């Protein structure tokens, strides 16, 4: 059957979104929470994950289409080609559940609420004394029913039992895993006690409000097993599980888990007795083997996805982890898709507190070796030696000191949203290199914005002579680029950079940088600049306070671009949080000529140009 993917709510004041790019094509498979498409709103560009696993059968909104919140975007199904969830109500009964019976959610939810209230009341007094009368349980346990899992969800499929017959379960402890056409989730037990019977097998579809299991205060009896027949063959599986609860799961797991299963069968067999005599003491020991045994068949899949889904935990588990002092990032989940369950946190807390010395040994001998410092040969040769500074180093040292002595330098920093530039570069870098023969880096974008701003702010593109008290405003933009070489920092100049496009700047930057590093740059190409850019982001720096290359009036540092959440404003003035590509641009300027307001206006011009991201024509593709 097919499920409709709808435009989610992307903020309190956001009512619609524009489809910018489909990340999956029709016919491709997709997993739950895997990015399906990119959507743009007033200020937020984000990826929309798929709420379902299956095959993308139909795209209902083309790229650049505007879709209201709640509007249909696509159909995801089992690959049969159905475009509507209504066309396959009865056909696909093996794995997927119908989502069409939306007329029944309220009665179903009412039944679930009543059942949950009765169960909670029973567990507070005598859990086995007043069971609901929906099945012939002879008053020996409380029936656990399929809860309402959504407004339009009327049934669910049992994917895995997390507690076997005879095992103890606590209130809110996960009892089983259920899959619907909307969500895969764990169903917690509303009562505490011992699982007396499974009333639904794995892979069986159960209506909302129908019984799933019976939980009571005593061990299961043979009559309990016999009363659960109901045409599903559950009596045999319940009886087998009571006699040898660990043997059935041990037949199917991967080869590497076979030895562990053999060791687990014995404690699992005695679990009911241990619970009766000392439930608190036996809990950590019994849960650990039981959950491994039950989850062995799906362990490989969980291991593959645990990294992606580890952050998805219920509030109950988060609270337990906080109380126990357990770091969730260090816990491997055994639930659906690698989700972290209550048992995982309990086991992690028990392992940490019970045997600190023993637990440290596997960690030390498992994977990581002690850190070994590696010193490069060049650095090793210099340690403990003295040498005469090279001619270039002497020149650099002299000019840097003189620069600080002859000018009043201070630095102003702005933060720039580079998201549009990042997307533009990503979309065109292959075509750019194919046509122009040079890699499309971010430096030409910064260079283009700078030379345009220099034309609008003449004070920054000028020279001030202290002796004559005269100011010279240049009618050209000779852009100097700081280049790191084995011999030291050199600053070649791109003449008339203001006349170049991004394509021209990219070629020129590659040319002068390559010739500078290979000692082929000419002396006259290292002078005459009117403004300098230093790419401090090439070594991962966020920002710096660069020193002016005299007699220029300023130098701009370009930090590393970092993807992080920021607060953005929508067109209607509301605020929301978005993930953006951000960069810091520090400008050091000579306060003898350039005032702080001048520097600020210059930076704001650069910021606006970069955030607008309108550089398509300058790529010359």
* Residues 236/208, Cβ–Cβ less than 8 Å: no
Marked catalytic residue, from 91, 595, 598, 618? 595
Q: How far apart are CA 397 and CA 224, in angstroms?
A: 89
The residues with which 69 forms a beta bridge, in sequence order, are none
**Do the bridges between strand 54-59 and strand 29-30 make them parallel or antiparallel, or are there none, so unpaired?**
antiparallel
Non-local CB neighbours of 497 within 8 Å, separated by 6+ positions: 447, 451, 477, 478, 479, 505, 508
Q: In 3D, which of 172, 213, 209 has the Cα closest to residue 345? A: 172
The CA–CA distances, whole Å, from 53 to 5, 26, 134, 300, 555 equal 11, 14, 34, 18, 52
Per-residue H/E/C for 343-405: HHHHHHHHHHHHCHHHHHHHHHHHCCCCCCCCCCHHHHHHCCCCCCCCHHHHHHHHHHHHHHH
Q: Which residue has the tokens 């007699």?
A: 551
Question: Both tokens of residue 7?
Answer: 């435009």
Q: How far apart are CA 429 and CA 489, in angstroms?
A: 28
Phi, psi of 283 (to 5 degrees): -60, -50
Marked catalytic residue, from 95, 240, 591, 618? 591
CA dihedral 9, 10, 15, 20 (to 10 degrees): -110
Per DSSP, 542 falls in state S
* Residues 247/223, Cβ–Cβ less than 8 Å: no
The residues with which 590 forms a beta bridge, in sequence order, are 409
Q: How far apart are CA 304 and CA 162, in angstroms?
A: 20
Q: Is the dihedral of CA 610, 540, 514, 552 positive or negative?
A: positive
Classify 338 in phi/psi space as left (phi over 0), alpha (psi -120 to 50) or beta: left
* Residues 598/453, Cβ–Cβ less than 8 Å: no
Q: How far apart are CA 486 and CA 467, in angstroms?
A: 37
Catalytic annotation on 591? yes
Catalytic sites, residue numbers: 591, 595
């Amino acid at each position: 059957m097919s499920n409709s993917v709808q435009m989610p709510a992307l903020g309190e004041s956001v009512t619609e979104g524009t489809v910018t790019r489909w990340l999956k094509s029709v016919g491709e498979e997709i997993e739950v929470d895997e990015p399906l498409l990119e959507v743009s709103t007033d200020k937020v560009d984000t990826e929309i994950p798929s709420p379902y696993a299956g095959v993308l059968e139909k795209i209902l909104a083309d790229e650049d289409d505007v879709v209201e919140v709640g509007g249909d975007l696509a159909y995801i199904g089992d690959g049969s080609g159905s475009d509507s969830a209504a066309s396959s109500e009865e056909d696909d009964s093996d794995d997927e559940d119908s989502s069409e019976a939306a007329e029944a959610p309220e009665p179903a939810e009412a039944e679930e609420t009543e059942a949950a209230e009765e169960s909670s009341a029973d567990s507070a007094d005598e859990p086995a004394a007043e069971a609901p009368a929906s099945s012939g349980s002879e008053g020996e346990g409380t029936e656990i029913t399929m809860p309402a899992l959504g407004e339009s969800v009327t049934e669910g499929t049992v994917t895995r039992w997390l507690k076997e017959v005879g095992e103890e379960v606590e209130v809110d402890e996960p009892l089983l895993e259920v899959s619907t056409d909307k969500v895969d989730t764990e169903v917690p037990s509303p009562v505490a006690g011992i699982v007396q019977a499974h009333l639904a097998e794995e892979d069986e579809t159960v209506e909302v409000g129908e019984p799933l299991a019976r939980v009571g205060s005593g061990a299961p009896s043979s009559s309990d097993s016999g009363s659960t027949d109901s045409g599903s063959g559950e009596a045999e599986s319940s009886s087998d599980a009571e006699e040898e609860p660990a043997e059935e799961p041990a037949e199917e797991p991967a080869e590497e888990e076979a030895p562990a299963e053999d060791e687990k069968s014995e404690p699992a067999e005695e679990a009911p007795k241990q619970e009766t005599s000392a439930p608190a003491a036996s809990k950590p020991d019994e849960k650990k083997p039981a959950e491994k045994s039950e989850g062995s068949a799906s362990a490989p899949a969980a291991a593959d996805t645990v990294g992606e889904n580890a952050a998805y935990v219920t509030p109950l588990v988060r609270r337990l982890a906080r109380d126990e002092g357990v770091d969730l990032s260090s816990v491997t989940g055994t639930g659906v898709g690698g989700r972290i369950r209550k048992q995982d946190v309990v086991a992690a807390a028990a392992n940490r507190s019970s045997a600190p010395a023993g637990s440290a040994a596997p960690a030390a001998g498992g994977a990581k070796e002690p850190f070994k410092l590696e010193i490069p040969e060049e650095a090793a040769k210099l340690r403990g030696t003295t040498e005469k500074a090279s001619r270039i180093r002497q020149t650099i040292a002299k000019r840097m000191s003189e620069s600080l002595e002859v000018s009043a330098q201070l630095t102003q920093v702005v933060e720039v949203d580079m998201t549009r530039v990042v997307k533009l570069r990503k979309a065109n870098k292959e075509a750019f290199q194919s046509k122009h023969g040079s890699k499309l880096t971010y430096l030409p974008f910064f260079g283009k914005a700078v030379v345009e701003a220099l034309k609008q702010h003449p004070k920054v593109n000028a020279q001030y002579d202290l002796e004559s008290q005269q100011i010279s405003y240049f009618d050209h933009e000779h852009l100097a680029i700081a280049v790191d070489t084995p011999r030291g920092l050199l600053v070649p100049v791109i003449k008339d950079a203001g006349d170049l496009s991004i394509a021209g700047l990219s070629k020129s930057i590659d040319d002068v940088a390559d010739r500078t590093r290979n000692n082929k740059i000419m002396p006259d190409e290292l002078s005459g600049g009117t403004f300098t850019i230093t790419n401090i982001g090439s070594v991962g720096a966020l920002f710096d306070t660069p020193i002016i290359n005299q007699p220029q009036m300023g130098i701009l540092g370009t930090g590393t671009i970092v993807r992080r959440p920021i607060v953005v404003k929508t067109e209607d003035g509301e605020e929301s949080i978005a993930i953006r590509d951000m960069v810091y641009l520090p400008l050091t300027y000579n306060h003898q000529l350039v005032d702080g307001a001048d520097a600020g206006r210059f930076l704001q011009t650069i910021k606006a140009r970069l955030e607008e991201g309108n550089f398509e024509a300058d790529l010359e593709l």
